[in-house]
Amino acid sequence: MAQDVYIHPTSDVSPRAQVGANTKIWQHCQVRENAVLGQNCILGKGVYIDANVQIGNNVKIQNGVSVYEGVTLEDGVFCGPHCTFTNDLKPRAVNPDGSLKGASDWVITPTLVRIGASIGAHATIVCGVTIGRWAMIGAGSVVTRDVPDYGLVYGNPARLKGFVCPCGEKLTVPQASLDSGSGQVALECPACHMKVILSSSIYAGYLVTKAS
């Protein structure tokens, strides 16, 4: 273990797991073998980190979240309370002959959550998707497809409803950017005035979703 790691006495962390400096693991967590947790992470009560999971630095995982094998969380990801990851697109307990499925009887489908993304409470992430940088997933959503960088999605199934700044505010689009013909759209945060550049094709996809 690295320096200044805190592990609550009720938690079970495999000696084969790698835990970065200043990470805090609170009550009733389990971290399995070959999992990697970066520096300055926080695992809330009842978090389960499966074998071989990769977690970056400065990640916050709130109470009751299970992160299953095949999931990668990059730096700065936020997982809200009781959000759910999956790793099997065809889940069955048994094979067609009725025998209990073993590790060799199914295939892990990976999921990637990019830097700075946030997942709201009770959202479900169906495996096989990539959630883009600084994207935001609304509480209770069911994510079944990729989410673009800065994308704001919510609903069941989750649909693209706009774009958000790293500070969390919804981005706006100046009319001049829409008319520029450059193949890009410049969005601006009304709070911190940061500018974010998206491809026109991504923004056009949002407009189609908005109109439907």
The closest alpha carbon to 177, from 188, 167, 161, belongs to 188
Here the tokens at position 179 are 């008319």
Higher pLDDT, 212 or 112: 112
pLDDT at 17 over 90: yes
Higher pLDDT, 3 or 59: 59
Other C-beta atoms closer than 10 Å to the C-beta of 160 total 22
Which of 12-16, 62-66, 82-86, 181-185 shows the lowest mean pLDDT across its residues?
Answer: 181-185
Q: What is the pLDDT of residue 178?
A: 56
Rounded average pLDDT over 182-199: 90
* pLDDT tier for residue 207 given thresholds of 50, 70 and 90: confident
Q: What share of the chain is helix, strand, coil (3-state, %, to 5)?
A: 10, 30, 60
pTM of the predicted model over 0.85: yes
Higher pLDDT, 210 or 105: 105
Q: What is the pLDDT of residue 165?
A: 97
Please write the tens of the pLDDT for every residue from 148-188.
Answer: 999 999 999 999 999 999 999 999 986 555 555 668 888 99
Name 193's Cβ contacts closer than 8 Å, sequence gap at least 6: none
* pLDDT tier for residue 93 given thresholds of 50, 70 and 90: very high
Give the DSSP letter string of 138-169: -TT-EE-S-B-TTEEEETTTTEEEEEB-TTSP
β-sheet bridge partners, residue 74:
none
The closest alpha carbon to 203, from 190, 182, 184, belongs to 184
Separation between Cα atoms, residue 60 and residue 40, nearest integer Å: 9
Please write the tens of the pLDDT for every residue from 33-76.
Answer: 999 999 999 999 999 999 999 999 999 999 999 999 999 999 99
Name 98's Cβ contacts closer than 8 Å, sequence gap at least 6: none
Separation between Cα atoms, residue 212 and residue 207, nearest integer Å: 9
Separation between Cα atoms, residue 78 and residue 64, nearest integer Å: 13
Which of 9-23, 74-88, 113-127, 190-204 shows the lowest mean pLDDT across its residues?
Answer: 190-204
Chain mean pLDDT for the chain: 94
